[in-house]
Every structure is written in C-alpha cells, then in structure tokens.
Amino acid sequence: MSNSLIPIVDLSPFFKEGDEEGKKRAKEIIGKACSESGFFQVKNHGVPVDLMARALNLSKTFFGYPNQEKLKSSPGIGAPLPAGYNTQRDHSQDKNEYLLVFPPGSSFNVYPSNPPEFREVLDETFSYLVKLGMLLETTLNECMGLPPNFLREYNNDRSWDFMIGLHYFPATEAGNNGLTPHEDGNTVTLVFQDEAGLEVCKNGEWILVTPSEGTITVNVGDAIQVLSNNKMKSSTHRVVRPKGKSRYSYGFFYNLHGDKWVEPLPQFTTEIGEKPKYRGFYFKDYQKLRMRNKTHPPERPEDVIHITHYAI
C-alpha cells in the first residue's frame, strides 16, 4: 500500500494576505485530487493542533469509562441521526463505538458529563471544523469553475453538520473491519486520527492514509459528485482496525440540509452539452436510504444503496 497518491496541501496562503501564488498552487492540487481520488490531506488549516490532540485524548478517556457511565449519554429522540453515545456491531461483536454531536447549541445534543471539559472541547473543535469546511467549500467552488459563492449560497444551512468521535476496538481473529467499504453521502468530510487505518480505494488498490502530525484528511462526498456530474469523485474508503491496540479518530461531516434538492448542475450538463448522469433527489430521502443500510442491512451486498441508486 502507498500513501504517495494522497497529497498534503498547505493551506497557510489562505490565512495571510498577498500569497496568491500559494493559493493558486493549493487549488490546483485540490482540484486534481478531487477529480482523481477524491481524497487529500491539509496542513496549516486553522484548526489548533493542540485542540485536536486534546479532543483525541478526551475521547480516549471517555471511551475508557465503564459502559454504565458512557450509557448516560445515550441518544435522545427526534434528531436526524442518533446524537450521543452509541455502538456499531458486526456479527454480534462491537467493532466500534462513537459519540455523535450536532452544532453547538443544538437541542439534539447529548453530551457526556465526564470528563468535565469534554463538552467545551467538542464544541470548540466543531466550530473550527465548520470554518475549515467553509474554506474548502469555497475552494471547491473555484476548482469547479462555478460562479463566486455559488456553493456557499446553495449550501447555506449548517444545522445538519455533525461530528463523530470514534473508538475502534483492536482487530480480532474474526476480522479487522472497522468500517466496511463505503462512500460518504455529504459534501465534504474532515478526519483526524491518532493511528493509521483509513484506506482509500483507487484503481482497485487500497491506499493507506498515514496521518502526519497536525494534518486533517479531506474527502468529497456523493453530493459533490452528483452536483459536478462526476467531475469530482466520491471515492470508496474503509477503516481497518489495528492489531493489539485501539484506534481513535474524529470525523466531521460538512453536510446539506435534508430539504435540499440535489441534481447535476447545468454548468456540467446543458451548458457544455453533456447529459446528466443522475436524476434529482431530496437529500433527506437519500439519507433515509443510507440509514436503512445500517438499520436493516440487506442480505446481499449488491442490494446496499449507493448513489448509483439515482444514476441514469
């Protein structure tokens, strides 16, 4: 496996005046990565590295508590996704556990009371990742050749964004899948992790994404692939659990509101003489289908719903 195909992009030019050449270089790398693998890493991204480290350490502390303590943060009712503490299972064995939060101040959130500072760190991390998501959205807008602020105005509701703190248990003799191969359904996903384990499929080969200190891994999701009529790629990826030790990570999902209508944009269809590759849909309908994959897994892998469900 190789990590050379996942470029690291320096975002520092976007945080200072005058470095137009640096911005241009970063956009070129991001545009190429999104049209090929859909994945890249960023450094000097504006999210404090010490805050990322604190968030990971606090998640290790939380997930190390007895189940009785963790279950005090079990999901509430009514949220689009089960906010709070939960587990995912594989053949009746826990393969990971997670804590899901919505934007700070959301009535859906169920925060742990311990460690005491965990809520504050989660909210602060969330806020920084929203800002990074907005920067990357603007950059993608330019890479796609869309009118200024097009994606920002199209995707102007942040209430469906969410963040997950994940704990993957060590691999067992029965298997090492942490997350089976899948694509993300949203617009942009941001991940930071303490150990390698995230892998991207490109040209039939699984490419290991090795985390460098302070970097965040970025990938575009199905919504961007549809809007761009396949110009941008939502790549298949998975998580492989390490042997003999746990793995911790955070995933932030820069999302669409459920009522948003998604279809290939005219800039990639009628205006250039190409046929749309997808029929339109409401984002919440697609999310329901994806959630059904989890709650009622089909017996046959080929019956799992992907974005190809809407392919023309």
**What average pLDDT does this structure show over 290-300?**
78
Q: What is the pLDDT of residue 50?
A: 97
Distance CA 197, CA 209 (A): 7
Does residue 115 have a cis peptide bond before it, meaning omega lies within 30 degrees of 0? yes
> Is pLDDT above 90 for 117?
yes
Sign of dihedral through CA atoms 49, 52, 57, 60? Answer: negative
> Is pLDDT above 80 for 265?
yes
Q: What is the pLDDT of residue 243?
A: 81
User: Which residue ranges make up each domain of the chain?
Assistant: 8-264
pTM of the model as a whole: 0.93
Q: What is the pLDDT of residue 4?
A: 54
**What average pLDDT does this structure show over 148-155?**
95
Give residue 12's Cα distance to chain centre. Answer: 22
Q: What is the pLDDT of residues 55-71, one digit of tens each?
A: 999 999 999 999 999 99
Q: What is the pLDDT of residues 13-50, one digit of tens each?
A: 999 888 999 999 999 999 999 999 899 999 999 999 99
CA distances from 56 to 118, 205, 206, 248, 302 (A): 10, 29, 26, 7, 35
Q: What is the pLDDT of residue 92?
A: 37
Least reliable range by pLDDT among 10-24, 219-233, 290-304: 290-304
**What average pLDDT does this structure show over 131-149?**
97
- Residue 249: helix, strand or coil by DSSP? strand
CB count within 10 Å of CB 270 equals 12
Instruction: Give me the CATH code for the 8-264 domain, please.
Output: 2.60.120.330
Mean pLDDT highest for which of 36-50, 92-106, 206-220? 36-50
Q: What is the pLDDT of residue 266?
A: 97
| Contact indicator for 219, 39 with CB cutoff of 8 Å | yes
Least reliable range by pLDDT among 3-7, 47-51, 113-117, 152-156: 3-7
Q: What are phi and psi of 234, to 5 degrees?
A: -100, 100
Give residue 177's Cα distance to chain centre. Answer: 18
CB count within 10 Å of CB 252 equals 26
Q: What is the pLDDT of residues 185-202, one digit of tens each?
A: 999 999 999 887 899 988
Distance CA 249, CA 56 (A): 7
Q: What is the pLDDT of residue 176?
A: 61
Beta bridge partners of 205: 202
Q: What are phi and psi of 38, to 5 degrees?
A: 80, 0
